[in-house]
Amino acid sequence: MNSVTADDSAWIRTSPFFRHATDVGYTLTLIRGWTPDEVLRAAGAEPRGRGEGTDGLIDAENAHRDATDDLWDASFIAGAFSAAGEDGDWTLVLGYDGGLGIGDACVEALSAGGRVVVHSTNGGKPIDLFQWYEDGALRTVFEWASHRDGDTPDALLPLLREVGFPLTPEGEHDDNAPDVDGKAAVLALAERLTGIRLTEALLGEATYALGLVPDSPPGCGTN
């Protein structure tokens, strides 16, 4: 049984890569049953070759920004790679996108018959979101673990408490429980649902399939 907790993700607070991700805003999407190229095509992304590690992904995003005159353009470079997890291979999609991601409608479609887990930060404020999709439905979403929404907002409550969120058995904030690093707890929760441990080495050394996700994605090409 996977017993990972927030303590296992403490590396994020000393990681230059993760600091950059939270400063500029990021989305990390984990999708079961689709290849990286299939996910990028579904998101309407224009192929942009390959990037080595997060440095290659950052370089590609910076080059795209340098070539974009419109400050309001929400297009971004997404990087995708495959990793073995629970019940088969998963595709991990990372974008320094200000927390936009590849679009809720597309993520929902990609979860049909499977599972998708997303966590993000929009940078600045920040707004930190966690989303769990199962078989085409948004099962649980939250910014604060004590304020959950979705079709089954309490389905993850036992896991939330196990990874370290300070919650009562009823799912309310527990003032008597120890404080927790919320982002580290989210990474632990993602691992519990996917079987994939997110580490600096995994993200930093992967070869990413790169794609330019458009400002206004044309739906989701999963058919």
Residues 135-153 have pLDDT tens digits of: 999 999 999 999 999 999 9
Over its C-alpha atoms, the chain yields an Rg (Å, rounded) of: 17
pLDDT at 44 over 80: yes
Q: Sheet with 88-95: list strands edge to edge.
A: 46-52, 207-213, 76-85, 88-95, 26-32, 115-121, 128-134, 137-142, 148-149
- What's the whole-number average pLDDT of the chain? 93
Whether residue 164 lies inside any domain: the answer is yes
Range of the domain at 185: 6-213
Which comes out higher in pLDDT, residue 195 or 65? 195
Task: Give start and end residues of each alpha helix (H) in 133-178.
Answer: 157-163
Whether residue 65 lies inside any domain: the answer is yes
Whether residue 85 lies inside any domain: the answer is yes
Residues 65-101 have pLDDT tens digits of: 898 877 778 899 999 999 999 989 999 999 999 998 9
Given this model, what pLDDT does residue 217 score?
A: 67
> How many other CB atoms are found less than 10 A from the CB of residue 43?
28
Whether residue 34 lies inside any domain: the answer is yes
Given this model, what pLDDT does residue 77 score?
A: 96
Rounded Cα distance, 142 and 78, in Å: 23
Number of separate domains in the chain: 1
Whether residue 178 lies inside any domain: the answer is yes
Whether residue 222 lies inside any domain: the answer is no
Whether residue 140 lies inside any domain: the answer is yes
Band (pLDDT 50/70/90 cuts) for residue 187 is: very high
Whether residue 60 lies inside any domain: the answer is yes
